[in-house]
Structure 1
């Protein structure tokens, strides 16, 4: 790719990027970073979290360029922002650091009592679901799903084999899915209120 990358269409940029062209990746980054950041910031009201989310999206995009399937670049990137924001909020909720989201929820819903009760019930349900996990499975779940540690890093940190970490992760995910299945509607109501 030559210095005329600003004249390339987004489709040409995408094709060049998917073939491993760093200049195309840089051009995509420059074209979308600010817009993506603003979307994340509007939802989170946290500059650092918004910046980290966008950086993570671009790091993963570059790492996975050989296997990623993208037909519309803008749709792909903004969908990634949406899901990353939701994951961040879930992480904050589970960690108990949900005060600002709680306030946002209340302001969006005009302090509707039913929604407040639903939100509190959701927090309680997630905590209860985590509490029933065995200690090791709970720790593996926390590090992988909430702190985003890779399996190899967790294995080293907890002095376990990678297979053992995968076992605990599978076990904890299955347990949480079963436990939260009955509360799916509640989760969707709370998340839709935030968005």
Structure 2
């Protein structure tokens, strides 16, 4: 019976097109996922919509998406979608939650905004030395949170090729960030020693 299957077997059944497996996953997780989204958003409709979107995407991409840990996959999706929803609504000026809640969620104070902008700038600088496609793949995976399977379809490449580009880009960005961090530490040390 599908109801009693472990998550690994449910994933296998889902990837083979199993509607029963999808139903079991939905029944096991939707309420827990909804609670996580609702606690952050304090908006029932938005939380429900986010969870429905996640499950819709899971069903549509069930065959191509590689899932090794169902809990991690689903709750990471909730986290990313909640943050994306809040960012979208803050940009539109429609975020109705308590500003203190938003600050705790994304640590959106002035110093952190500056640090985040600097980090993004340093990452972008690290990506500029790469071929355009590698940089774009990195952005889609790390910043837009696209699954590897979707990126592979977008660029008409194999998943192995996407993983190669990601490895190459990650090494480049990491090396660039090490150099930038060293420069920052030297500057801070010089400032503190004055």
Using the size of structure 1 for normalisation, the TM-score is 0.51
Correspondence for 1:35: 32
Structure 2 unaligned regions, length at least 5: 182-194
> What is the number of residues matched between the two proteins?
157
2:54 is aligned with 1:53:
yes
Deviation for aligned residue 1:97? 5.4
Aligned residue runs from structure 1 range 37-186, under 5 A: 37-43=34-40, 46-47=46-47, 48-57=49-58, 63=63, 68=68, 76-77=70-71, 79-88=72-81, 99=90, 107-108=100-101, 115-134=109-128, 136=132, 137-145=134-142, 146=144, 148=146, 149-155=150-156, 166-180=163-177
**Which string of whole-angstrom CA distances, capped at 9 and with x for unpartnered residues, describes residues 105-160 of structure 1?**
961458xx99530233123312331244136032222234326132242246xxxx
Structure 1 unaligned regions, length at least 5: 70-75, 184-195
Correspondence for 1:14: 6
Change (3 A) 1:63 1:141: same
CA RMSD of aligned residues (A): 4.7
Change (3 A) 1:90 1:49: same
Instruction: Name the SS of the counterpart of 2:77 in structure 1.
Output: helix
Q: Is the 8 A contact 1:138 1:172 kept in 2?
A: yes
Change (3 A) 1:122 1:155: same
Q: Is the 8 A contact 2:137 2:151 kept in 1?
A: no
Using the size of structure 2 for normalisation, the TM-score is 0.51
